[in-house]
Amino acid sequence: MSRKGENIYYRKDGRWEGRYIKGRKPDGRPQFGFIYGKQYGDVKKRLTLIKAELYQDSGITAPAIYGNGSLESWADYWLETHVRPHVRPETYAGYRRNLDNHICAYLGKMRLTDISQRHIQNLANGLRDKMAATTLHGICRILKSLLTSACDEGLIMQNPYRNIRLPKAKNRPPRVLTQAEQKKLETAILYNNEPEYLLCLYMGLRVGELCALRWKDIDFESNILHIRHSVQRIPGEENRSRTRLVLGIPKSDASVRDIPLPRFLSEILYKKLREEEGKPDEFLFKGTKAGYRDPRTMQQKLCGLCRKLEIEDVHMHTLRHTFATRCLEKGIRYEVLCEFLGHSSPQITLKYYAHCTPETKRTSINRLAEME
């Protein structure tokens, strides 16, 4: 919860935090100062006094605190104060990447007041052939939010983002294993004793959720799997070209969920628990110094296995797509599947999985033939 335009927000520890720019780093990015307090009014008063002193000492007006008036300077400030406190680290990293690689690469040096609808349309046109339409829509949403906040702060009189023409985003059906491919893959998984991939095929887990599983997340008495954490790879703080693994919360509030554990999987995992003498806080699938396996390692092992089986175009999310499709083929309703997958609404589930596999099409045609 934050107070719009004031750079004050409520922390999970029960305190209020205020942010202000106290200087610039050697690369020109803002360096932030922070103040904390138990009362919102106290933090607001102290933050106002600090900003007033900064303005008075430097002889600049309030809008100039955002830098030299360029989109790039405002983007840095907006990202740190308006976005970062309220999103997950990997979401922040995605915003940062799109700003640096696309938005600021084209518009960054321009003054906010000079940016027009034509400049934004030219940006969109230039990116149109370089990426998928869905990716372009996401980048433009960031730019629109960035300029809307600048307008709210009084840095520009009118938001130039209007009537921007974008290519229509197409939702391609996801890659799904055929029943024959799934059977072949499952046979190899069981032979190699790699139950991690069965958890994706029969429970629809995301790879980050899979890597974050601890033994205490499994209730063997009730056969319930608790999804409470996720492992993600994000850019480093100092050097964004280098990445690091972080253990955090799942993708959204809806992703924190309990999923019934199939009995055959419960038996396989219980056997693994006894063989490894796993402790409650230990991770099911070990790999890194932190104790959990790197999602990239999961991906690489799966790709290697599928190459040997001559199953093409398979990645970890393919297993999740396959789980969802098998559920629908068995008549499981979208609202139930939505909870299994951790989507925020059945509409999202319908959006991604309103497609038919060749097996479903063939079965449907055969049913029509039986009516003759």
Q: Which fold has domain 179-369?
A: hpI Integrase; Chain A (1.10.443)
How far is residue 350 from each of residues 237, 252, 326, 337, 357, measured CA to CA in Å? 37, 18, 14, 10, 15
pLDDT at 99 over 80: yes
Which one is predicted more confidently, 223 or 74? Answer: 223
CATH homologous superfamily, domain 2-152 = Tyrosine recombinase, N-terminal domain (1.10.150.130)
Lowest mean pLDDT among 42-46, 120-124, 249-253, 324-328: 42-46
Q: What is the pLDDT of residues 198-226, one digit of tens each?
A: 999 999 999 999 999 999 999 999 999 99
Domain ranges of the chain: 2-152, 179-369
**Rounded (10°) CA dihedral 270, 275, 276, 280:** 30
Q: Which single residue is written with the structure tokens 């790709």? A: 303
Give yes or no on whether 2-152 and 179-369 have one common fold.
Answer: no
- Distance (Å, rounded) from C-alpha 320 to C-alpha 258? 16
DSSP for 170-228 reads --PPPP---HHHHHHHHHHHHHHT-THHHHHHHH---HHHHHT-BGGGEETTTTEEEE-
45: Cα within 13 Å, side-chain hemisphere:
6
Is the pTM higher than 0.95? The answer reads: no
pLDDT-derived band at 33 (thresholds 50, 70, 90) equals confident
Q: What is the pLDDT of residues 286-334, one digit of tens each?
A: 887 768 999 999 999 999 999 999 999 999 999 999 999 999 888 888 8
